[in-house]
Chains A and B, each alone.
Chain A
Amino acid sequence: MREFLVFVRKECYHIFRDRRTLLILFGMPVVLIVLFGFAITNEVRNVKIAVLDQAKDTYSRQLTDRITASGYFTVDRYLASEKDIEPVFREGEVKVVVVLPPNFGHEFYHGRKAPLQLLTDASDPNTGTTLVNYANAIILQYQQEMTGKVTLPLTIQTASRMIYNPSLKSVFLFVPGVMTLILMLVSAMMTSITITREKELGTMEILLVSPLKPLTIIAGKVIPYIALSFIIALTILAMGFWIFGMPVKGSLLLLLLECLLFCLAALSLGILISSLTNSQQTAMMISMMGLLLPTILLSGFVFPLESMPKPLQVFANIVPAKWFIIILKDIMLKGAGLRQVWQPTLILGGMTLFFLVLSVRKFKTRLS
């Protein structure tokens, strides 16, 4: 037991004496959360539009006001003729051009049908579609107000409500995502690097010749990183809560336990990687390619899994991050308890056990 404690203390020396790595470890989550929370967002806000108002009547003016009043759009400039449209898009600032034909108001009331054109910069297709949808919705609402209550013989009235995230804040998606990413990074990459570093420096040779059991070596390496990951997880949760108002509706204890489980899964992956390679460089590359990319792309963090081709969806099932993100979202946003998340928890636990046993068995007691 004393050997184990001394081993853990030695590992802490390594961690705390390497200031640069430590700074990255704690700086990265903060920077990522702030970036994703404030800067990188897929919400539509203050998008610049240009208006080519050929009617210049009350209605066209009202409609323009309605569009800007929403907060989603701001009018960057008014265009004088159709010739100006192309140059405006080329500049890149303006994403949408609203074209109101002459006699817009007149047509609206007398011709019973007023044409209106929306030109959108679709070089980024997702944003383009979103912008058109938003603009359409505003125009439709305006139309309803103008025509007043028309009682049609048969109507379907849709009443929609966004549950779990009523204000559609993207940070609610990113906090679980970033947490998964960071825990994966710290746990898997750092352990694989620290173990391969011992191999590279030759200290592993002495550790192997010592009476230390392989399990003691592994556990001694891993425990400090579990603690580190846990502190980082707490930091992210605290930032999510106090800065972005991200709630934890479910049990905090359950959430932390799940974090621990995920850390363990990532750590065992890290040990597995370190037993496959002898150099820090390769260990880092494998962690990057083999763990980080799937965690970002195939976990539902950035891209929805449901819209992926079937083979990728099936493949995503073996990415631990997918299950962890499901668990996190359920607990944090839906207030789920263990009864609701037992299935992904079980899958994650099974994976952890599998990787842990595999990595301990793969750990070599000799050099080759």
Chain B
Amino acid sequence: MQPIVIENVHKRFGDVKALHDISFSVEQGELFGLIGPDGAGKSTLFRILATLLLADQGSAFVNGLHVVKDYKAIRRQVGYMPGRFSLYQDLTIEENLNFFATIFKTSVEENYDLIKDIYEQIAPFKGRPAGKLSGGMKQKLALCCALVHKPAVLFLDEPTTGVDPVSRKEFWEMLQRLRQKGIPILVSTPYMDEAMLCDRVALIQKGEIMQINTPGNIVKSYGKKIWAMRADNMFRLIRDLRAFEGTDSCFAFGEYLHVTLHVPVEKVQAYLTPLQHGNLVIKPAQPGIEDAFMQLMQEQNETV
């Protein structure tokens, strides 16, 4: 049985189309990523799955249970970590954890092995009110609270937003360990680098899924050759490249520009040389998932 199944889900808020014909399923023990920019509809989908919102059309199943008809049963089985920090700020780490353990009819001791790795990292601060924790510690605590009742499915809505890079890395290591324990995880993130850590990802934008695949395949299916370019005056380089008619796309990627072309690279060189860019570097580059996402995004924008 697939732990999460979503079939043709639609959701509108007034005139805003939040979700449009979403269908996918998550396999047993899979770490599934929902990748998309802010406002893509990720949180809405999470709330539908967590039985907090009703879909306008379509149906969804969590562990074979229907999200509308069997919502009470689902609520006992899932661990849900909302996008916003949603713990009691005036309660300490320990009190928060004990509270959530009890309302899920269990105790911290009972499932301690599940949260042990995470809890040990925040345990030195267990007497501190949750409101006074750093961003990363807050998210670790929230994950503990979502895990404490040993959920059959885990929903994590943007767990690493607003968290420093080191904590983000630690957080994803924890998710990998949880996956090894066989818990299927649906996680959303706006960060492309995190997409590579998922088993499969769905790229989502404006309420529509653009592609579902393994991160590796998404990168592989990216057919075009990418050129990394840089020069002393990057801003002028972007402007010149975007003005060049042989350019397909041109995005800034760290210290380089990632450029795709539909003409041979020599033409660009010929075009750029008279423009006298200092220290111009042009070299082939490996496409990443971000390139794939950018291209898909552009394609979708052009069709709309």
| Residues of A participating in the B interface, judged by any CB pair closer than 8 Å | 2-3, 6-7, 10, 13-14, 17-18, 201-203, 205-212, 365-368
A13-B53 in contact (CB<8A)? no
Interface readout for B65-86 with A: 1 if CB under 8 Å, 0 if not?
Answer: 0000001100110101010111
Say whether A208 contacts B103, CB under 8 Å: no
Asked whether, in the complex, the Cβ of A211 is within 8 Å of the Cβ of B53, the reply is: no
10 more A-B residue pairs beyond the given contacts A10-B91, A210-B75, with a C-beta to C-beta distance below 8 A: A3-B102, A3-B105, A10-B95, A13-B88, A202-B82, A203-B87, A205-B86, A206-B100, A208-B52, A366-B53
A6–B98 CA distance with the chains assembled, in angstroms: 9
Please tell me which one of the listed residues B51, B84, B87, B88 contacts residue A209 in the complex, with CB atoms under 8 A apart.
B51
Q: How far is the CA of A29 from the CA of B51 in the complex (A)?
A: 43
Q: Which residues in A have their C-beta under 8 angstroms from that of B72? A: 211
Q: Are B80 and A209 in contact (CB under 8 A)?
A: yes
B256 at the interface (CB under 8 A from A): no
A13, A202, A203, A365: residue with the most chain B Cβ atoms closer than 10 Å: A203
Q: At the interface, yes or no: B114 with Cβ under 8 Å from chain A? A: no
* The 7 nearest A-B residue pairs measured at CB: A202-B86, A6-B102, A202-B84, A367-B52, A211-B76, A17-B90, A209-B80
Closest to B88 in A: A203
- Hey, which chain B residues are within 8 Å of A3, CB to CB? 102-103, 105
Whether the Cβ atoms of A212 and B103 lie closer than 8 Å is yes
Question: Is A6 within 8 A of B50, CB to CB?
Answer: no
Residue in A7, A14, A211 whose CB lies within 8 Å of B75:
A211
Please, could you name 25 A-B residue pairs with CB atoms under 8 Å apart, sorted by A? A3-B103, A6-B98, A6-B99, A6-B103, A7-B99, A7-B103, A10-B91, A14-B88, A17-B90, A18-B90, A201-B88, A202-B82, A203-B86, A205-B80, A206-B82, A207-B103, A208-B52, A208-B75, A209-B50, A210-B75, A211-B103, A211-B105, A365-B71, A366-B52, A367-B53
Count B interface residues, CB 8 Å.
30
CB-defined contacts of B80 to chain A, threshold 8 Å: 205-206, 209
Q: Which of B52, B53, B87 has the most CB of A within 10 A?
A: B52
Closest A residue to B157 by CB, please name it.
A205
Q: Hey, which chain A residues are within 8 Å of B47, CB to CB? A: 205, 367
Q: List CB contacts (< 8 Å) of B124-164 with chain A.
A: 145
Decide if A206 touches B86 in the complex (CB within 8 Å).
yes
**B75 and A209 contacting across the interface, CB-CB below 8 Å:** yes
Chain B residues within 8 Å of A212, by CB: 103
Most buried by A among B51, B84, B103, B104: B103
CB neighbours of A202 from chain B (8 A): 82, 84-86
Distance in Å: Cβ of A9 to nearest Cβ of chain B: 8
Q: Which residues of B contact A14 (CB under 8 A)?
A: 88, 90
Q: Mark B100-126, 1 if CB is under 8 A from A, else 0.
A: 101111000000000000000000000
Closest to B107 in A: A2
Inter-chain contacts of A211 with B (CB < 8 A)? 72, 75-76, 103-105
Chain B residues in 8 Å Cβ range of A366: 51-54
Whole-angstrom distance from the CB of A223 to the nearest CB of chain B?
16
Minimum C-beta distance from A280 to chain B (A): 14
Is B89 in contact with chain A by the CB < 8 A criterion?
A: yes
CB closest residue in chain A, given B87: A203
A13 to B71, CA, bound (A): 30
- B162: min CB distance to chain A, Å: 14
Query: Which chain B positions have C-beta within 8 A of A6?
Result: 98-99, 102-103
- In angstroms, Cα B71 to Cα A97, docked, is 78
Q: Which residues of A have CB within 8 Å of B50? A: 205, 209
Q: Closest approach, in angstroms, between the C-beta of A289 and any C-beta of chain B?
A: 28
Q: Flag if B75 contacts A2 (CB, 8 Å).
A: no
**For the complex, what is the distance from the CA of A170 to the CA of B103, rounded to whole Å?**
50
A206 to B85: give the CA distance in the assembly, Å: 11
- Within 8 Å by CB of A201, from B52, B89, B95, B103, lies B89
* Residue in chain B with minimal CB distance to A18: B90
Task: Give min CB distance, A182 to chain B, whole Å.
Answer: 24
- Closest chain A residue, CB of each to CB of B102: A6
**Assembled-state Cα–Cα distance A215/B72 (Å):** 14
A207 to B75, CA, bound (A): 10
B91, closest chain A residue (CB): A13
A18 to B52, CA, bound (A): 30
Contact indicator B95/A13 (Cβ below 8 Å): yes
Most buried by B among A201, A202, A205: A205
Chain A: CB-nearest residue to B96: A10
CA A23 to CA B97, docked complex, whole Å:
29
Residues of A within 8 A of B78 (CB): 209
